[in-house]
């Protein structure tokens, strides 16, 4: 039977016991035990750190006997005097002292855990997720979860100080198209009808602006039924904000202040503002990505003019088809990238959709994969165009612009990581502006919205909204950090007639507009102030600030790639009686 806590009240967390001479009571988990015969040392662990407990068989034989019965992960409370350690450990905060225990309570005994609770665990992640409640006892995860809490705390403080009101929006709402599949909730009362879990609070926060609340903030839970990856979970938290009587620059300036504050308070890192800006077109042309990592070079360069007269069919066909020839200069890459390594890059490029890569590897002398097609001076011209010199590797792609840019953008990142030129302790924020309003759907041969349908087009683009969709730009922007998209934002359409025109440009009928967005359209008839907003991914921000590899490392109970949770084994079947109440019968389709 477990001991009682009666008569003991915790006075200190383990990591706060640093001064000799005081009487303390601590509680925690047994991290490790060393039995030296007449002396036992127990390292006790809680969320603040560890402290060493000391037991002596001569001072208190009964307490010593109880200590000798303890094992890893037992839950203990201990009372005693803090004394100086004979063998000091200067690497930890509590390493100069220990607690000489005169009262020990075993509050709970533990089975032998399925894996050792240590910081640098190399145990299979699947097993750790199955026993997530044990995995969460490890110091790295506890550090991450606590930092995530601190980020949330600073977030609230900053926006409160800047006049924002925190308002909760519904978790059960009408299903509206927002780019991903909804998670649906069947209604018992209204059988055959469904609520949806919000992909974002988008519509409600716009309604709050119409209602006159001016500055709204919420740490909002969002849900999207989409394929998962390292920086995506089916449920996530968004720092959601909306502002009235502002323009894009006002919103961006406010968020820059938040970024500056959170990095300074949490990490003591100074983020200079204003943050740099790149248009979407410039980002794609220079980095091959709309979320570029600007911590290193290897920028894409257009060499179409330089190679237009070269008699090489790969280049000529690309240019004749309206494409381009572009290159990246991997500085000092020739030593690392052997022919075998270059072949791997070529295969990767083909996997993206390119026909391949041409290259110039300049070790002792320039070795060019298409040298036989070159006349005198042409190789030198290409090298000059990309500023290549001895030791460099030039990688060239020729195809449609979309293929070339996406290919070289991905290859650039691979090379940056392979050459270890991406500084870990650098935080490059970047605004991507003037986003395309529409994107082309190759499968259906049509233009579709690149953003939610309430996004405002730039004023100069409104006149050709119906006639030239390719060149319509949105009053929309992304916030990017080190190659990760943290946030999207935009100004919203507040003009009823323009909103109607927008729906029509997206191919929606009056019946569809009314069915999906009728309540919002009606709200705009009663006048709305100019407004816009953003949603900043709290989980992604925490992942980068914690230097974590995955969102799973900053989420207490994450899902895995198939959107299941290994610990609780959800999703799980529901009995027929529960389904019958909802008027639902399950028809499982084979995959």
Percent of the chain topping pLDDT 70: 98
Q: Name the DSSP letter for residue 474.
A: B
What are 70-91's pLDDT values in tens digits?
A: 999 999 999 999 999 999 999 9
Q: Are strands 277-279 and 429-433 parallel, antiparallel or unpaired?
A: parallel
Return the SS3 of 300. strand
Cα dist from 106 to 2, 52, 470, whole Å: 6, 16, 70
pLDDT band at 179 (very low <50, low <70, confident <90, very high): low
| Mean predicted confidence (pLDDT) in 281-288 | 97
Integer Cα distance of 25 and 104 in angstroms: 10
Integer Cα distance of 31 and 41 in angstroms: 11
Choose among 544, 543, 294, 279: nearest CA to 409: 294
Does residue 142 carry a pLDDT above 80? yes
Predicted local distance difference test score (pLDDT) of residue 589: 75
Integer Cα distance of 379 and 183 in angstroms: 56
What are 26-59's pLDDT values in tens digits?
A: 999 999 999 998 999 999 999 999 999 999 998 8
Predicted local distance difference test score (pLDDT) of residue 406: 96
| Mean predicted confidence (pLDDT) in 346-350 | 95
pLDDT band at 178 (very low <50, low <70, confident <90, very high): low
The answer to whether 41 touches 48, Cβ cutoff 8 Å, is no
Residue 102 burial by Cβ neighbours in a 10 Å radius (0-12, 13-18, 19+): middle
- Lowest mean pLDDT across 135-144, 341-350, 452-461, 539-548: 452-461
The answer to whether 584 touches 578, Cβ cutoff 8 Å, is no
Does residue 582 carry a pLDDT above 70? yes
Predicted local distance difference test score (pLDDT) of residue 450: 73
Phi and psi torsions of 185, nearest 5°: -120, 115
**CA angle 466-471-472, nearest 5°?**
60
Choose among 248, 281, 278: nearest CA to 470: 281
CB proximity list for 440: less than 8 A, separation 6 or greater? 446, 447, 448, 470
Predicted local distance difference test score (pLDDT) of residue 452: 77
pLDDT band at 441 (very low <50, low <70, confident <90, very high): confident
pLDDT band at 346 (very low <50, low <70, confident <90, very high): very high
What are 100-137's pLDDT values in tens digits?
A: 999 999 999 999 999 999 999 889 999 999 999 999 99
Mean pLDDT of the chain: 92
Determine the longest span between alpha carbons in the chain, in angstroms.
93
């Amino acid at each position: 039977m477990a001991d009682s806590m009666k008569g003991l009240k915790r006075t200190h967390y383990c990591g706060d016991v640093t001064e000799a001479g005081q009487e303390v009571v601590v509680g925690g988990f047994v991290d490790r035990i060393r039995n030296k015969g007449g002396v036992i040392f127990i390292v006790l662990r809680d969320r603040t750190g560890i402290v060493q407990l000391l037991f002596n068989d001569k001072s208190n034989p009964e307490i010593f006997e109880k200590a000798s019965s303890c094992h890893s992960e037992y839950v203990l409370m201990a009372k005693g005097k803090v004394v100086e350690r004979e063998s000091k450990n200067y690497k930890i905060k509590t390493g100069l002292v220990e607690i000489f225990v005169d009262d020990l309570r075993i509050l709970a005994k533990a089975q032998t855990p399925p894996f050792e609770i240590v910081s640098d665990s190399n145990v299979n992640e699947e097993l750790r997720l199955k026993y997530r409640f044990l995995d969460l006892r490890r110091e790295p995860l506890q550090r991450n979860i606590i930092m995530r809490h601190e980020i949330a705390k600073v977030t609230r403080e900053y926006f409160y100080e800047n006049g924002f009101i925190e308002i909760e929006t519904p978790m059960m709402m009408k299903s509206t198209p927002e780019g991903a599949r909804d998670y649906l909730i069947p209604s018992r009362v209204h059988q055959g009808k469904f609520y949806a879990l919000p992909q974002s609070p988008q519509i409600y926060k716009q309604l709050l602006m119409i209602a006159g609340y001016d500055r709204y903030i919420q740490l909002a839970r969002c849900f999207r039924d989409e394929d998962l990856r390292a920086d995506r979970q089916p449920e996530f938290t968004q720092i959601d904000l909306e502002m009235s009587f502002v323009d894009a620059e006002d919103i961006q300036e406010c968020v820059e202040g938040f970024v500056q504050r959170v990095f300074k308070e949490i990490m003591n890192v100074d983020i200079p503002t204003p943050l740099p800006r790149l248009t979407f077109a410039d980002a794609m042309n220079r980095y091959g990505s709309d979320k570029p990592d600007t911590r290193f070079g290897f920028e894409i360069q257009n060499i179409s003019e330089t190679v237009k007269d070269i008699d090489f069919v790969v280049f000529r066909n690309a240019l004749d088809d309206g494409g381009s020839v572009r290159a990246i200069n991997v500085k000092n890459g020739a030593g690392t990238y052997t022919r075998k390594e270059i072949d791997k890059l070529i295969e990767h490029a083909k996997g993206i959709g390119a026909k391949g890569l041409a290259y110039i590897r300049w070790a002792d002398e320039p070795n060019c994969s298409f040298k036989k097609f070159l006349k005198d001076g042409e190789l030198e011209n290409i090298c000059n165009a990309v500023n290549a010199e001895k030791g460099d590797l030039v990688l060239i792609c020729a195809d449609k612009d979309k293929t070339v840019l996406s290919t070289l953008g991905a290859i650039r990142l691979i090379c940056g990581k392979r050459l270890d030129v991406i500084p870990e302790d650098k935080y490059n924020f970047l605004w991507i502006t003037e986003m395309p309003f529409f994107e082309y759907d190759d499968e259906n041969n049509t233009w579709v919205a690149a953003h939610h349908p309430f996004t405002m087009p730039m004023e100069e683009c409104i006149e050709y909204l119906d006639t030239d969709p390719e060149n319509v730009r949105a009053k929309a922007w992304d916030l990017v950090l080190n190659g990760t998209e943290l946030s999207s934002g935009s100004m919203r359409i507040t003009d009823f007639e323009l909103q109607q025109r927008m729906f029509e440009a997206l191919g929606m009928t009056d019946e569809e507009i009314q069915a999906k967005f009728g309540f919002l359209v009606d709200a705009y008839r009663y006048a709305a102030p100019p407004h816009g907003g953003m949603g900043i991914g709290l989980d992604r921000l925490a992942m980068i600030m914690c230097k974590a590899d995955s969102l799973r490392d900053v989420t207490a109970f994450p899902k895995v790639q198939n959107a299941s949770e290994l610990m609780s084994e959800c999703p799980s079947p529901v009995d027929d009686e529960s389904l019958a109440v909802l008027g639902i019968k399950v028809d499982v389709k084979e995959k």
